[in-house]
Amino acid sequence: MTDTSPHIQASHSNPAEQFHETVPLTAEHLLTNRRPEPTGGWRRLIWQLSGGRIVPAESAAEVERRTLIAQAQTPVASGHHRIAVMSLKGGVGKTTTTVALGNTLASLRGDRVIAIDANPDRGTLGLKVKSETAATIRTLLAEAPHILRYADARAFTSQSPARLEVLASDTDPAVSEAFNADDYRTVAGLIERYYSICITDCGTGLLHGAMGATLELADQIVLVSLVAVDGASSAAATLDWLTAHGHADLVRNAIVVLNAVEPKSDVDLNLLERHFSSRCRAVIRIPYDPHLKEGAEVDLIRLRPTTRGAYLRLAAAAGQAFGQRPDRSH
């Protein structure tokens, strides 16, 4: 005689359904050696004392960090992505932002990241990494017809410990003044062949020769400002100018960097952030850091943890646009 009582039927159905819903059958969940190793704190201590058998749950901060890293590692859907780092006002940390963003992306990604100096006067991008060559963007232009492979292009760049390559500008302002829109397009075309991401350190003028081509080719912009009334006004004016000159799409997709933020300030930082958040895609605060104040080579290891975290958020914000395929038909 067959027993069809309800409790026997339940024992064969509900637990299995519950298990299927609550525990995904993935390698990360089933294989203990696939679980991420704790990087520090009490979680790592427990992991070490248990011989790696116990992996406590990740904290909210660790989950956020993994999410940010994944965003920064987003594959470039179009094959090449151009970021223009801008500021109307000098001395706000535009070049430092260029290198720190580039270093962060290069340290996390497996593809090639390059920063180029498009300042019409003497740029300082080349001072932010240890020089490996005397070549400049001008010498690369002169040899453009002979650059047929990555190794040829690499001869003109210097590389940071984080794997960011830098193409420096001329140190003679009279020479670098000749760098115009056509020159930039030529360089950009070469860079596109061998690098996935190009970060351009722009000059402070919106009307100089190379800027028109820089904006025309840019996939997104990073606008740098200090937390000060004049700096914020200049940044807002830059957004106004871009909108009025056919670049409203760049403004909507822009990232505003509030740089060298002090622990205490008379400026209403929240109000400043709300203003730019209403106009742009993201606003990132970068705290003041003594290492960056030196004005020399930018080394991620020497940054304070909070500063490294801020640049990771900047890299993640930039990475959110890597998966898009921009329409360059215009």
Cβ distance 197 to 81 under 8 Å?
yes
How much is the pLDDT for 30?
Answer: 58
How much is the pLDDT for 106?
Answer: 98
How much is the pLDDT for 27?
Answer: 61
How much is the pLDDT for 56?
Answer: 78
**The model's pTM:** 0.84
How much is the pLDDT for 159?
Answer: 96
How much is the pLDDT for 119?
Answer: 79
The gap between the terminal CA atoms of the chain, to the nearest Å, is 79
Cβ distance 115 to 165 under 8 Å?
yes
Residues 127-158 as b/e (b if ≥16 CB within 10 A, e otherwise) read bbbeeebebbbbbbbeeeeebeeeeebbebbb
Question: What's the CA dihedral at 136, 141, 143, 148 to 10 degrees?
Answer: 110
Owner of token pair 């300082």: 124
Tell me which CATH homologous superfamily contains domain 68-319. Answer: P-loop containing nucleotide triphosphate hydrolases (3.40.50.300)
- Please report, in tens digits, the pLDDT of each residue of the chain (330 residues total): 444 444 444 444 454 444 444 555 666 555 655 567 777 778 788 888 888 788 877 778 888 999 999 999 999 999 999 999 999 888 899 999 999 999 999 999 999 999 999 876 667 898 899 999 999 998 999 999 999 999 999 999 999 999 999 999 877 666 545 678 999 999 999 999 999 999 999 987 787 778 999 999 999 999 999 998 898 999 999 999 999 999 999 999 999 999 999 988 888 999 999 999 999 999 999 999 999 988 889 999 999 999 999 999 999 999 999 998 776 554
Cβ distance 192 to 140 under 8 Å?
no
> Rounded distance, CA 30 to CA 9, Å?
28
Start-end of CATH 3.40.50.300 domains in the chain: 68-319
